[in-house]
Amino acid sequence: MKRILVTGSVGQIGSELTPKLREIFGNANVIAGVNRTQPTGELKESGPFETVNCTDIKQVESVVKKYKVDTIIHLAAILSAVAEAKPNLAWEVNINGLYNVLEVAREHKCAVFTPSSIGAFGLSTPLDDTPQDTIQRPNTMYGVTKVSGELLCDYYHKRFGVDTRGVRYPGIISNVTLPGGGTTDYAVEIFYEAIKNKKYTSYIKAGTFLDMMYMPDAIKAAIELMEASPAKLEHRNAFNVTAMSFDPEIIAAEIRKHIPQFAMDYDVDPVRQAIAESWPNNMDDSCAREEWGWKPDYELPAMTKDMIETLSEKLSQ
């Protein structure tokens, strides 16, 4: 990676991955691709930014040409709950947008990183220790676009030699930018509410386990996979990666170690609950560990402690 374009740079992952890439590869070498939401603060000041709507192939191509981009980190996507409400939009962005990025990458010889997700699985998948290669019959629009995206990335590698790589991210817990419209968002909201109000109403039922990861590990996964020697990669796209698995009761108990008065009740959202139940309880990420040395730094206790310290400071300002 030398000249990098990040699409979706103001989103949950982009707003933290873009500054990290600038730190490593140089501010001028990392272009923040923005669409509707304009960048602010450090993201805006620290390096170049350009309007890149991935559904417009000409826009993607002109930025790649202008900056001689060699790597596209394609983060622009619609998350699961929004995708159920707006399936058309999810197809347009998650499929047609990815197709445009891959076409530009083929033409201009760029490497591409694309996140897939735990959403690429469904009820017929083994939901405990979900294997790397297994049944994938998701019943959500988000899942349909994610499985198709995995296949499309594999195809572009095999057929055209494009250096495509990617991981299946679990729910990402972070404290800079809120996720927008996902099923796993409760695991982020719970921290904001615990600190602000000492209580949280969960839309996910007790006993519903999902894979999760703290943002520093999500960033580490993307960078380490893109820097890994291709010789070692048997899989290229859609590596299972996880750091922890919990249900609402377990994370609430961990938060109570820091905020003893924290109280939680439930008002279950049937749409997001059904989505969560169709996703793995915990994935087996041994292929990522073997092929490129994946190992997370944060488990539940360390993540919770850091989230509470960082967010408490942020929310007190």
Give the x/- contact pattern for ligand SER in 130-159, rule: CB under 6 A: ------------x-----------------
Q: How far is the CB of 193 from ligand SER (least distance, A)?
A: 18
Is 283:171 a contact under the CB 8 Å cutoff?
no
Q: How far is the CB of 82 from ligand SER (least distance, A)?
A: 8
Query: What is the token pair recorded at 311?
Result: 């967010």
> Quick one: 152 or 218, whose CB is closer to ligand SER?
218
Q: How far is the CB of 185 from ligand SER (least distance, A)?
A: 6
The DSSP secondary-structure symbol of 123 reads T
Is residue 142 annotated as a catalytic residue, yes or no?
yes
Selected binder of ligand SER within 69, 72, 79, 213 (CB under 6 A)? 79
Give the x/- contact pattern for ligand SER in 160-179, rule: CB under 6 A: ---------x-x--------
Selected binder of ligand SER within 11, 14, 19, 182 (CB under 6 A)? 182
The DSSP secondary-structure symbol of 68 reads T
Selected binder of ligand SER within 117, 145, 202, 304 (CB under 6 A)? 117
Is 47:30 a contact under the CB 8 Å cutoff?
yes
Beta bridge partners of 210: 246
User: Out of 99, 142, 169, 298, which one is annotated catalytic?
Assistant: 142
Q: How far is CA 102 from CA 54, 60, 117, 163, 187, in A?
A: 10, 10, 18, 10, 32
Q: Which amino acid, residue 119?
A: G
Residues whose CB is less than 8 angstroms from the CB of residue 273 and which lie 6 or more positions away in sequence, other chains included: 203, 204, 205, 208
Footprint of ligand SER (CB under 6 A)? 79-80, 117-119, 142, 169, 171, 182-184
